[in-house]
Amino acid sequence: MNNVIETHDVWRVYRTGQQEVAALRGVSLCVTRGRFVALKGRSGSGKTTLLNCVGGLDQPTHGTVQVLGQELTGWDDERLTTWRREQVGFVFQSFGLITTLSVYENVELMARLRRLSATERHQRTVECLERVGLDKWHNHRPDELSGGQQQRVAIARALANNAPLMLADEPTGELDSTTGSEILKLFRQIVDEEGVTLLMVSHDKLVEDYADEVLHLQDGQIIGFGG
């Protein structure tokens, strides 16, 4: 199975009161193993909605989503949650770290989801923090770190469960351009060296230098491929 993500004619219609908003209008895409694919588009074009449908955080109104050969359509929340913990690592714009836990504990928490032994969990946590260049920061709290370092912790956390698919929603959105480009470079290295597949939403101009492919979303439809 070389296709990690395959969507066919995905629609997502939000209903609020009398109003309907079609956030996705027939999105079909395919991402093969080991690729770094960027998703660009204006605010409101449906990028987050698409990422959420791929990651099992949301469900399409119509159409199908297959990830790693499994058809997610129609699954209940419990099944989706279990699946996500094993198959997907998420990285968000605002880092989403637990402020009362140390850097080490934030990452180790995710390693726990794989039901590893204590020794394996420790090894995996150390390995992931080393991978993102934070091996000397284990005992610090997130608020003692810079934005770029906090995003590195979030990336280590997303790696900790050994998930084959990584989804990132504007991960450089709160970072200055130099720090942002370092984070993009790190994602590129992770894709190349850890064999994960990455779908990243980004406004960042620099993303084109790092991604294998850039998809453009406009008003809920893919309007162009490039990169």
**Cα–Cα dist 109/125, whole Å:** 9
- The continuous run of DSSP H or E covering 151 comes out as helix 147-160
48 lies in the binding site for Mg ion (CB under 5 A) = yes
1 binds, among Mg ion, ligand ADP, none (CB under 5 to 8 A by kind): none
Tokens of residue 56, six digits: 């099992």
- Specify the residue, 51 or 145, whose C-beta has the smaller distance to Mg ion: 51
Contact set with ligand ADP (CB under 6 A):
14, 16, 21, 23, 41, 43-49
Phi-psi region of 56 (alpha: psi -120 to 50; beta: other; left: phi over 0): left
**Contact range with Mg ion by CB under 5 A, out of 18-26, 40-48, 76-84, 176-184:** 40-48
- Specify the residue, 47 or 152, whose C-beta has the smaller distance to Mg ion: 47
18 binds, among Mg ion, ligand ADP, none (CB under 5 to 8 A by kind): none
In contact, 198 and 38? CB cutoff 8 Å: no
**Cα–Cα dist 157/169, whole Å:** 15
Q: How far is the CB of 23 from Mg ion (least distance, A)?
A: 10
Give me the residues that bind Mg ion (CB under 5 A), please. 47-48
